Structure 1
Amino acid sequence: DEKKTAHLLGLDGAKERLQLFKAELLEEGSFDSAIEGCSGVFHTASPVSFSAADPQAEIIDPAVKGTLNVLKSCAKSPSVKRVIQIWYQLSKTLAEIAAWDFAKENGVDMVTIHPGLVIGPFLQPSLSFSVEVILNLVNGNKSSPLSHFSVVDVRDVAEAHIKAFETPSASGRYCLVESSVPLSQVLGILHKLYPTLPLSDKCGEVDIMNLPGFGVSKEKAEGLGIKFIPLEESLKDTVECLKEKEFLLF
């Protein structure tokens, strides 16, 4: 799909160093040609939807079966030294469990990356779920699918993938969360940055200050060399990117 890949082909050095392959997550062997000869494989693709008519077929099966198909292709290629796998919620949790089982049984060196809500500047012309959440807040929506935000910048996620591959001692699971805060705090930062915006301070009819949240340790990720971009900077860069790409006009 040229519309979905144009931003990749427009990157500096793409003509010399970027090669795109056609593949199908649910088709075993589909990734063989793309992975052959590679020393590192980053598996980041998985469907994300909150409105799937059939979650099992549309989200869970592609995540689990797709991950196993990628790992099977990796196991066939002796050049592959390490696989970096990213995590989301249920579908990716099931995929991760299956991936660890496969990796142990087949001797695949694998590291998993576990980001929170990924925000920050984006390259593609379309909106991801996480960026759309911020867009809706800026537009003054009275409700949000999230009452608590465990946030990380996309640039930190990208760096973590590279460091997890290049650092010989990297192993196991890495959680990536810069801040874990209630929606009211996110709205407060946005209001500070853009005081003229008509921001809401409620999540539906629920007082979001009374909802529980969970902290995430940065220690292991910082041991990998990650210096997290502050939440305020990530939010500002997200909004400015939305303005640059004309999703926001103010």
Structure 2
Amino acid sequence: CSEDEIICLVREQRVKEQVNYWENDEKVRVMPYDMLDGGKTLDEALKCAYETGGSGTASDTTCCIYHVASVFGPTEDHKQTALDNVMGTEAVIRCAAKYAPNIKVVVTSSMAAVRATDQTPTNGKFYTHEDWNAKSELGKNWGQSYQWSKAESERRAWEISKELEVDMASLCPSFVFGPPAEGSTSSSYSIALVGQWVRGESEVQSRLCVDVRDAALAHVRAGRRSE
């Protein structure tokens, strides 16, 4: 791929929508992604990038994977959804290891991985990289299952990346929401929640918010940093 080419991996049912959105940007290619296929669709995308970018090896093409796929919101089986989130993250790191060392992974984690509700910082003052959510319970309700999955996903990502020597960074934003990209619509559950809060339809559940544009910029910078 060219230096600035982007491969956008989305669920199969969203491929057509994203192809239409990016049709005027030659640097963006949209491909289907299944986070539960053990890394198969990600591997196919990486092979495509390396084969069109040079000799087809990781030695002449550098890639950065932004792993932002994690199911957020109520589901029929929130416990299984949480386990799926963890499995999908593990698959990304293992797949990336095939293309090391010229590949970096940026994992979108969450403050939910850092602390549970009412969990105090280890140092008694503020949260650091040494803090982990130690209270959220898998299976208790969809919110706690999600929080558990974010902590377990990041923990496993760090363990596997160190074992397989994959360059990795993680970001832990709080509640992310903001305007959709120009000309697009959003099915974001986060935006739906904020709408409910503003209209007084449900209790405000979070006061720690991050603008999606700031989160996006942080991801780009994390992918470009060498340390």
- Determine if the TM-score, normalized by the shorter chain, exceeds 0.5: yes
User: 5 Å matches for 1:174-213?
Assistant: none
Whether contact under 8 Å (1:9, 1:18) holds in the other structure is: no
For residue 108 of structure 2, the aligned residue among 86, 95, 106 is: 86
Which whole-Å CA distance do the structure 2 matches of 1:10 and 1:29 have between them?
25
What letter corresponds to residue 82 of structure 2 in structure 1? I
1:22 aligns with 2:32: yes
What letter corresponds to residue 127 of structure 1 in structure 2? S
- The residue aligned with 1:72 is 94
- The residue aligned with 1:98 is 156
Moved over 3 A (4+): 1-5
Count of aligned pairs = 164
- The residue aligned with 1:207 is none
TM-score w.r.t. length of structure 1: 0.59
C-alpha displacement of 1:85? 0.1
C-alpha displacement of 1:18? 1.5
- The residue aligned with 1:43 is 67
For residue 32 of structure 1, the aligned residue among 37, 40, 43 is: 43
> Structure 2, unaligned stretches of length 5 or more?
1-11, 51-61, 111-146
Distance 1:120 1:39, change over 3 A: same
What letter corresponds to residue 105 of structure 2 in structure 1? V
- The residue aligned with 1:167 is 225
Whether contact under 8 Å (2:18, 2:30) holds in the other structure is: no
Q: CA RMSD in A?
A: 2.2
Answer with 1 or 2: which has the greater Rg: 1
Which whole-Å CA distance do the structure 2 matches of 1:78 and 1:96 have between them?
19
C-alpha displacement of 1:8? 5.6
What letter corresponds to residue 203 of structure 2 in structure 1? S
1:158 aligns with 2:194: no
Which whole-Å CA distance do the structure 2 matches of 1:45 and 1:134 have between them?
20
1:54 aligns with 2:77: yes
What letter corresponds to residue 21 of structure 1 in structure 2? M
Matched residue of 2:79: which SS? helix
Identity within the alignment, %: 28
Which whole-Å CA distance do the structure 2 matches of 1:79 and 1:39 have between them?
10
